[in-house]
Amino acid sequence: MWFVRLLSSSIGKKLIMAATGLLLVLFLITHAAGNATIFMSSDVFQSYADELHSHPLIVLVFSFSLLLIFLCHIVAGLYLFFENRKVSHSRYEVTTRVVKNSFASETMPYTGLIVLLFLFVHIFGFTFSPKDVQISVTVKELLGNFFYALFYIFAFVALTIHLSHGFWSMLQTFGINHPRYNTLISRLTLGIPLFFLLIFGGVALYFMTGLGAHY
């Protein structure tokens, strides 16, 4: 199968990571835009969610594609992690390591695992929430719980760290690396993850602090 063949080469795995990572960032942009409507009013957010669910086929195809993208990202990531570990335990370690060693790059599997754990909790709480309760009410009730919101903020910090290295790595894989653009690239690798932290973390804080109590 072409996917298995692609997975067996290192550059194939890097390409899968980069392409699926890019698609996940695009998903996060649309998700952050949708969630930003929470700050307008519960009615605006609820009509956004209702509009989305008035196209069940599109939602179904989108959800399955997203699941597939997540799975490819995780499987390729695990392969790369174990391959790198094998290399780092071999006597060729010094000559074969080309990845920049920052806190974010060293902790990629762990921050990735925290985001995965978050996704299980998140989808269980929101996507599979009781259908007779409006989603705007579910968001308010779940994030109004201090510890639930705290866990969300912890996961968003992990997501920010994960993205800061992931975005940089994706650009390297795609060959987007030129001294003229390096300042812009550094700003984007920090700016985009912080933008997500601001929106998602802002929503969690809004309910956690009681600001959204009358939502």
Q: Summarize as ranges the residues that interact with ligand HEM (CB under 6 A).
A: 31, 35, 49, 62-63, 66, 115, 119, 122-123, 126-127, 135, 139, 152, 159, 200, 203-204
Phi-psi category of residue 178: left, alpha or beta, with phi > 0 → left and psi -120 to 50 → alpha: beta
CB of 169 to ligand HEM, least distance (A): 17
Residue 152 or 168 with smaller CB distance to ligand HEM: 152
Q: How far is CA 27 from the centre of its chain?
A: 8
Token readout for 201 is 């973390």
CB of 13 to ligand HEM, least distance (A): 21
Residue 18 or 112 with smaller CB distance to ligand HEM: 112
Instruction: Tell whether the torsion through CA atoms of 36, 38, 44 and 47 is positive or negative.
Output: positive
The CA distance from 166 to 175, in Å, is 14
* The Cα angle at residue 194 between residues 186 and 201, in degrees rounded to 5: 170
Q: Which residue is at the shortest CB distance from ligand HEM? A: 63
CB of 126 to ligand HEM, least distance (A): 4
CB of 177 to ligand HEM, least distance (A): 26
